[in-house]
Amino acid sequence: MIKVKKRKILLLPGDGIGPEVIGEVKKIIKWFNDNKSLDFEIEEGLAGGCSYDKHGTPITDEVFYKALECEVVMLGAVGGPKWDNLEFSKKPERALLKLRKELKLFANLRPAICFEQLVDASTLKPEIVSGLDIMIVRELTGGIYFGEPRGIKPIDNGERKGINTHTYTTSEITRVARIAFDLAKKRSNKVTSCEKSNVMEAGQLWKEEVQELHDKEYKDVELSHMLADNCAMQLLRNPKQFDVIVTDNLFGDMLSDQASMLTGSLGLLPSASLGAKNKDGEMRAMYEPIHGSAPDIAGKGIANPIASILSFAMALRYSLDLDNEADALEKAVQDVLNDGLRTKDILSKGMKETSTPEMGDAIISKLQ
Ligand code: IPM
Ligand code: MG
């Protein structure tokens, strides 16, 4: 078992705009080192299409072992059309899925917060999204993403059959539900658990196990169950009814994308993928922006680094026990938005357009 090294951060910029946005995170980590005497140790590695191009694999063993020993992994984004036709095991996304699975990062926290300054950027009416603050807790290492059997095989009539398997066990459900309940206690004390118990046995088990855990240990938290399709609809109808949503890997993938657009821009939303704490209180974790690699704007210096910077704020809070620093960084982002600075994706009339590095610099100047 590889030991986790305290305060060691692995940067995996990845593909597309990944290197640009993680570049700004690197500047911020250095700022904390120089100005707050924090001794973060930075390592870097290739993951995704860039690793495939150089090494023929989306992630090398060397980089994977580095990830195992770092307390924090900061990932940019992986993938792009260039690698679309590779066989499954070589696709850039495999790097991400391998890290999630092998590092046992079973709880994916995806906040959807509507910044007051950007209420108008949402496609929904301001009164629907203003003040929105949802936390989606997505199960990340189980379900149909990883279930066996899987594959594509020929069948008798000359056709082919594609197979994936959706499975969950009691412990896979309860450990992620526990994270959701614990988070709710620090927020508005409400959990909505989403599945398709009307059509899937694994969904029925999900519902029963979440309810049982609630009744045994979290009676003081308000719990409701919702079918995932209804949840998709309710997120558009009245998103402020939600506090914490806990759901499986696939529904979480879709519902979190949907929730993110309530806030106006994918460019602002961070995420954290957490493992279990060991007996020494150590935990593996990976932080990444919700947005993808956006190959269409890569290399132009116009990507929004805020989602990555806020992902680092989550790392400060959840992995590094530096709540004050996390607060300061989040406040610096707010201050910059209040000043009217905007990258292209969130630009509106009367605001000042800034490049990726200018946005990073502006946030750093607010930290001073
Ligand atoms: C996400 C992404 C990934 C997923 C892809 C890139 C494999 O959509 O993190 O939501 O499906 O989990
Ligand atoms: Mg997704």
Domain of 324: which CATH number? 3.40.718.10
Q: Which of 100-104, 114-118, 301-305, 326-330 has the lowest mean pLDDT?
A: 114-118
Instruction: Give the separation between CA 51 and CA 59, rounded to whole angstroms.
Output: 6
Atom 4, ligand 1: which residue's CA is nearest?
Answer: 253
* Residue 4 confidence (pLDDT): 81
Three-class SS state of 243: coil
Pair (244, 341) in one structural domain: no
Average pLDDT over residues 217-225: 98
Confidence of residue 1 (pLDDT cuts 50, 70, 90): low
145 assigned to active site: yes
Give alpha helix (H) positions in 138-226: 170-185, 201-217
Pair (140, 255) in one structural domain: yes
Pair (182, 243) in one structural domain: yes
177-217 pLDDT, tens per residue?
999 999 999 999 999 999 999 999 999 999 999 999 999 99
For residue 250, give the ligand nearest its CA.
1
- Looking at per-residue pLDDT, the higher value among 266 and 201 belongs to 201
Instruction: Give the separation between CA 147 and CA 281, rounded to whole angstroms.
Output: 30
Q: Which of 257, 335, 339, 361 is catalytic?
A: 257
| Cα of 353 from ligand 1 centre, angstroms | 29
Pair (79, 123) in one structural domain: no
Pair (243, 281) in one structural domain: no
253 assigned to active site: yes
Average pLDDT over residues 53-63: 98
Instruction: Give the separation between CA 20 and CA 78, rounded to whole angstroms.
Output: 13
Q: Is the pLDDT of residue 120 over 90?
A: no
Strand partners, 154: 160
Instruction: Decide which of 236, 264, 292 is a domain's last residue.
Output: 264
Average pLDDT over residues 308-312: 98
Pair (119, 186) in one structural domain: yes
Q: Is the pLDDT of residue 54 over 70?
A: yes
Atom 1, ligand 1: which residue's CA is nearest?
Answer: 253
Pair (166, 185) in one structural domain: yes
196 assigned to active site: yes
Could you tell me if residue 269 is inside a domain? Answer: no
Confidence of residue 348 (pLDDT cuts 50, 70, 90): confident
Atom 5, ligand 1: which residue's CA is nearest?
Answer: 93
Residue 246 tokens read as: 């806990």
Q: Is the pLDDT of residue 93 over 70?
A: yes
**Whole-number mean pLDDT of the chain?**
95
Q: Is the pLDDT of residue 176 over 90?
A: yes
Residue 309 tokens read as: 């910077």
Residue 265 tokens read as: 């821009």
Could you tell me if residue 270 is inside a domain? Answer: no
How many structural domains comprise the chain?
2
Instruction: Evaluate whether 95 touches 51 at the Cβ level (below 8 Å).
Output: yes
For residue 100, give the ligand nearest its CA.
1
Instruction: Evaluate whether 49 touches 83 at the Cβ level (below 8 Å).
Output: yes
Instruction: Decide which of 264, 287, 309 is a domain's last residue.
Output: 264
CA-wise closest residue to 246 among 110, 68, 61 = 110
| Cα of 75 from ligand 2 centre, angstroms | 14
Select, from the ranges 230-234, 254-258, 343-347, the one with the highest average predicted confidence (pLDDT). 230-234
Pair (66, 139) in one structural domain: no
Pair (318, 244) in one structural domain: no
Pair (304, 192) in one structural domain: no
Residue 114 tokens read as: 């509507």
Instruction: Evaluate whether 173 touches 208 at the Cβ level (below 8 Å).
Output: no
- Looking at per-residue pLDDT, the higher value among 163 and 257 belongs to 163
Who lines ligand 1 at CB under 6 A? 93, 96, 253
Residue 247 structural domain: 112-264
* Residue 186 confidence (pLDDT): 95
Atom 8, ligand 1: which residue's CA is nearest?
Answer: 253
Could you tell me if residue 98 is inside a domain? Answer: yes
Block residue for tokens 């495939």: 52
Q: Is the pLDDT of residue 41 over 80?
A: yes
| Cα of 255 from ligand 2 centre, angstroms | 9
Average pLDDT over residues 292-308: 96
Pair (187, 133) in one structural domain: yes
Average pLDDT over residues 13-35: 97
Q: Which of 26, 66, 91, 196 is catalytic?
A: 196
* Closest atom of ligand 1 relative to the 256 alpha carbon: 10
| Cα of 48 from ligand 1 centre, angstroms | 13
Q: Is the pLDDT of residue 299 over 90?
A: yes
Q: What are the residues whose beta carbons fall under 8 Å from the beta carbon of 263, sequence distance 6 or more?
A: 112, 113, 114, 115, 118, 121, 122, 129, 132, 269
Average pLDDT over residues 81-97: 95
Three-class SS state of 272: strand
